[in-house]
Structures are given as structure tokens and as C-alpha cells.
Chain A
Amino acid sequence: MIRDHFRILVVNLTSGKGQVVHLDGRNTEVGGSGLAALLFQKYGLLDQPWDAPEQPIIFAIGPLTGYFPLMSKTVCSFKSPYHDQYTESHAGGRSALSLCFANLDALVIVGKSERLCCLSVSSRSLDIKDIDFMRGMDVDETGKLLRGMSKGSGHRTILRIGPAGENGASMSCINVDTYRHFGRLGGGAALGAKNLKGIIIHGDAIFPIPDNKEYNKLFAEVHKQVTATDMMKKYHNLGTPANLQGLNDIKSLPWRNLQATSDPAIDKINGERFATDTLLRNSACSGCPVGCIHVGYIREMFNANHRYTFKQVAYDYEMIFSLGTMLGVTDTSSVLNILDCMEKVGLDAMSGGVALAWATEATEKGLISNHETIVKLSFGDAEAYQQATKMLGTCHNDFYRLLGKGSLQAAAEYGGEDFACVLGQEMAGYATGEVFFAAQSLGFRHSHLDSGGYSYDQKHSDQDIQGVTDFLISDEASRTFMTSMVSCLFARGVYKNEILADCLNSVGYSEIAANIDPLGVHIQKMRWKTRFATGFNPEAITIPKRFYKIKTWKGAIDPLYLNALKTEYGKAITNLTKSENE
């Protein structure tokens, strides 16, 4: 192991100084999600708003980062501008290995810089640069300039925000190495509130390999499983967009602000079509040989004399849902063009698309007009959505500023709460049924990856409130352990408990290896306690009427079942915070 405790760098942007802190807790809080919660308990201000200068932003990795394939993600935790409660967002890119090789288990940033700045750290350096000249600069240009201003090409991560983060939009993201993101729940605004435009982490440390023969053998075995078997094929073949056709076939794909769950136009916009028409190349997070990142290209003739420009945009299932089917846009290039706008302004493309879908239906119903949206929004009009995206990201007027705080916030002002597709935050692309709607509404990150609710819906048509609740709670616990490693959740089919224990043992974490299940439960409870301490109340979360009016492969949504599930799942989550004395 690199160390039996946690080594943290705490940087205070107000003073411009950093402090290395050594913390106990490796065998109890493990890393990633557990470490982030531990650090928020230590540095977070529970009763202060998300943008209080001393509020921390935390980036944490796990005990297997750098040691094994697909241990390639970083947990970012902060008090969310979206709901002013504790949350996490996860991303890969080079972030995890860069942190590991910066000789850190976590980077904690507190305080606020007077002017827009960029923080650079490595295992032997700490520097804060004034980059106020980059104010308002888009994510792409910011990345290019920061690359030129720093060393360590190939072995560094460059995190940055765009105008959306600077302007405090609750759906602004933190871009990671161009193609990955700490996307959801407003991490971009959390950085923006600190006047922190960019973070560069250069991984330049070296560690000895574990002193046993098992380690190299085990690495080779895991590598073989993730590359030579079919286990990961779905991620590196068509990638997650393969789900579009399948979900459309079972009437579970949201179309046009969830006014439908299936549409014959899917063949213009499914995974096969994206791969055939737009896929340029694949890319990978550092330490992951799977290479699930699908980079598409758009070629545009900007001058009649055959003068072209081209863009490279990484796509996934979720963006094709939020900027394609949800907006009624059924042309691959158009989806990528809207996505490119989302990327440049630094918005979370999932939330941004779903918010624009609400705005489109609100326009159709006459609740808002060009006075608010400036450009007329109608389903399928990709050009209008590109313009609206820029205005959403730059908080162009009061309407877009409010919409950037969330569809329900805008609906509270203009009406239309019934058709705001919000489940705790703007929905993920799974109209699979009651279980997912309850699961995302109350999930810790309001993410489809909190638990397998979307999968449960697709396998069960019976109604089993207790069974579902038990499943969601136990599935979340096991995923919480994975996000404490911090593994990519795509690898959960490979990293079963037995192999995880072998990996942990091979690098010397035998106590963690012996307690995988209880530690998952412990960290799950710890995260929820932190969330509740910042104001979470499951009863305060409502599910808009639109979700009660759709049809899936199981038939019409049963409102009584959905309400009962939400109530019981909420109680089960609440119980998690009471059942352990800490």
C-alpha cells in the first residue's frame, strides 16, 4: 500500500497557502465516497450556504487507485448549489491517477480567491496563478491556454469551468480533460464561487510495487478479464448509446419532455447510427484499457468554397437522450452541435437538455414566450437549442438565470410544475417505471447510478414494495463501496467482492478486504447522515405529475404503487441515519 492512512492537501484560496494533513480512517472510511464524507464532516459548514467562502470542495481517490485497471475515478464532494445540501459527483479522465501520483488521497479546497485563479499542484509543488484575463472564457479555450501554461503533458489532469460555473448556474459542471465531467449538481458553480477557474494536478510521484508475487499475477488476471472477455464489450463497442434502441423498444425512452416513451424515429439516432455516422475514435481514462469514451465528429462547411471546420465531441447515452430524444432532435450532427455548445459554456448536458425540454413545453402551452427565451423553442429545432444553450450557460436574462437553477425553480415562477421532468434533479434517461422514479428522486446523488432501479424495472413487473426497498438499499451499499475504491461503476461486473478482496489483500489492505460489505453499509450511512445534516428530507421531494401519466412496457404507471415506493424508500433511507451510533 502507499500508506495506511490518508494524506490530504488542504489549500486555502483566501490565504494562498496549503497544508498537508495526515488523517486516520483508512480501515473505516476507506477512500473515495467514505473519505469525501469524512473530510466534509471535518471541513464542511453544515449550516452555511453552498457558496460560503470557507465551504470545501473535495476531490478524493481510493486505496486501489493506480494499482489496478478501472480504478480510474475521482469523487468530488461539495455542498450543492442545486439543493444546498451535501452531494457527490464522479469523473474519470486523468484525474484519479494524477491525484494518486501527486501523492495525495484527497485535495481539499477552502476559501475564496480575490480574483479568478488557477490552482496547480504536484507531489512537490503548489502554485496559485491569477488568470483573471480568462473570465468568461469557454471551456475549450480555457483548456488550451491552461495546457500551454503548465508542465506535465500526458501526466496531468486539467479541471476547468466555463461561463456557467462562473455565473453560478446550479447545473454547471467541472470539465475534466475535455471529454469527462463532474457533471451533476453544480460543481462548476462551487468552483466559480471560489473564483477558481481551473485546477491542474500533475502526477509526478513514484511508489514501489507491492512486495509479493500475487500482485502482478492478479493485475494480469484483472486486465485479461476487462479486455479479453466479453464482459466489458457493451462499453467499448457501441458504448452506452446501445441502450437507446433497447429502451425505445420497451417504451422506456423519454421523448419530447417525456410526452412519449417510444418513437419510430429512434433509428435516426440510436447507438448504431451514431457509431456509423459520427464516431471518430475512442479514448480512455488513465488506467482503463476499456476505452469507453466515444468521440464523435461534426464537419461543417462555413464557406461555400468548400471551407470546412470540424469539432470533436464525446457522446454517451445520457446526452443523446437529453439533447436528442428529449428535445425531439433526431439528427446525429444536430445532437452533437447542441452538445458542443453545452461543453463550451460548461453546463451539465443532462440537466441542461431536460431543462430546455421543459422550457419548450412551457412555450407550447403559452406559459413563456420569446420575451423570456429570446429565441423560439420548439421540439426538433436544433439551431434554437444551440442559441438557448449559450444563453442558459451565460445566464443571459432573468429567465435563463432562473432556469439554470433548475426546471422546478423556473416552473415555480412561470407555472408548469406538472411537466417539469425532475426527480430530485433533472431526470436521467430512464422512463422504466415506478422503481426508477422513486430511486432517482431519493437517491443520494439523484443519479441513475446510485442504485440499479432502472434495471429492476426492466426485470420485474410485479409489485413488491418491501422487496424493492430492500434491493435499493442493499444495491446502494455495494455501489458505495465501489465508489470508495474508487472504481468505475462499469467495472462492477468484474470487481465482485471476491476479486476486490484479492486486490485489496495484494496491496496490503487486509482489514478492508475482510469487511467489504459492512464497510459499504457504514459509508452509506455516513453519507446519508451528512446529507441529512445539510437539510435533506425525503418527504419534501415531490414527483411531478408527468411521471404518473406515462406508459412503459409494464403498462400505465400505477400512482399508488409509485407513492408507496417513494414513502417506504424514504423511510428506509431515514432509518439508515438512525441505526448506527457514530
Chain B
Amino acid sequence: MKKLTTPRIDRCIGCHSCSLACARLVHKQISWDTAGIRIKSSGGLTTGFKANHCLACDPAPCADACPTGAFSYRKGGGVIVKKKLCITCGECVAACPIDAIAQDYTGAVYVCIHCGRCVDYCPHNCLELEEISSDQNDTIKEVTV
């Protein structure tokens, strides 16, 4: 099971190449919004950039919130997306605690599927597609908590 991580996001230069790659290669669109990873300046007391993307929660609150089964649990964390089942209600967007799910003006939603197609487009090697087992993800969860 693979999971997109951003272990070196402090190196990010804000070029948006990852978002553009996700939109282009996964969602067949030219956009920096309709992507599973989106870059914004971090603000607050620190400077630099942050990446909004799915952290592969297990269990995933967005899947719990989805009323039609368009989002379902992915083994090891995160979600499996079935676009055809989506009614664009936006419940998943509201349920995500870290703003990882984008919704366009038609209501369509976009979340990282941990495919890693953005990774090679990052010029500073900020991103990584990490191999995880269910046990490892439990460990990560505990540390985070």
C-alpha cells in the first residue's frame, strides 16, 4: 500500500508543478484547483509553503460522511473514489479536518488517491510515495495523536 507524503515540503518553492501534474495526468484538466495536492503559502508565524493533500486517515472521516458510497475506505488509510456514485453534496469536503478535498464550482470533488504521479514533477524532491503497511499507518497515527 502506498501513501503520498511530503517529507521535504520545507524545500517547496511554490511552482505548483505537483498540482498541475495531478490535474493534468489524473483528472485530465488544466488547473491548479482540481488536484489532490494543492500548494499555498503557509502564513502564520512561519514562512514558506504547505501542501494540502490527503494524509490517509484510517478510518477516513470523509468516507464516513459520504452518503452514497462514492468514497470508501482504502486498506491502509485514505479512500477509494468512485466518481460515478458521487452526487456532489460536498459532505466529504466538510468532514475532512485538514481541507484536503477540493470541490469545483460544479460540485465535483478531488482528493489524493496516492498514485504518486505528482512526485516526479517536484523539482526539489519534496514529495515521496511511501510504502506503508496497515501496522505502519497505525504507528504514524499514534505518533500524530
Contact = CB atoms under 8 A, between A and B. Distances in A.
Contacts of B49: 154
Interface residues of B, number: 30
Interface in A248-292: 281-291
Closest 8 CB pairs of A and B: A154-B40, A284-B15, A291-B13, A289-B123, A284-B13, A207-B30, A206-B31, A153-B40
A101 B121 CA distance: 20
Contact of A101 (B31, B105, B122): B31
B47 interface: yes
Given A153-B43, A289-B123, A206 B30 contact: yes
Interface in A209-261: 209, 216, 219, 223, 227
Contact of B15 (A101, A209, A286): A286
A208 interface: yes
Interface in B32-65: 32-34, 38-41, 43, 47-49
B15 A208 contact: no
A286 B47 contact: no
B104 interface: yes
Interface string A176-210: 00000000000000000000000000011111110
Interface in A288-331: 288-291, 293, 312
Nearest to A178: B41
Given A204-B105, A208-B29, A69 B43 contact: no
B94 interface: no
B24 interface: yes
A101 B123 contact: no
A97 B16 contact: yes
Contacts, number: 82
A365 interface: no
B14 interface: yes
A69 B18 CA distance: 12
Contacts of A155: 32-33, 38, 40
B30 A291 contact: no
A67 B30 contact: yes
Contacts of A286: 14-16, 32
B124 to A, nearest CB: 7
Interface in B82-139: 104-105, 121-124
17 contacts: A101-B32, A101-B33, A154-B39, A154-B40, A154-B41, A155-B33, A204-B105, A207-B31, A209-B29, A219-B24, A283-B14, A289-B121, A289-B122, A290-B123, A291-B13, A293-B13, A312-B47
Contacts of B47: 312
Contacts of B31: 101, 205-207
Contacts of B124: 291
Contact of A206 (B33, B39, B123): B33
A208 B28 contact: yes
Contacts of A293: 13
B28 A289 contact: no
Given A153-B41, A281-B48, A287 B20 contact: yes
A281 B48 CA distance: 9
Question: Most chain-B CB neighbours within 10 Å: which of A153, A154, A204, A290?
Answer: A154
Nearest to B48: A281
B113 to A, nearest CB: 18
B43 A206 contact: no
Contact of A285 (B15, B34, B38, B43): B15
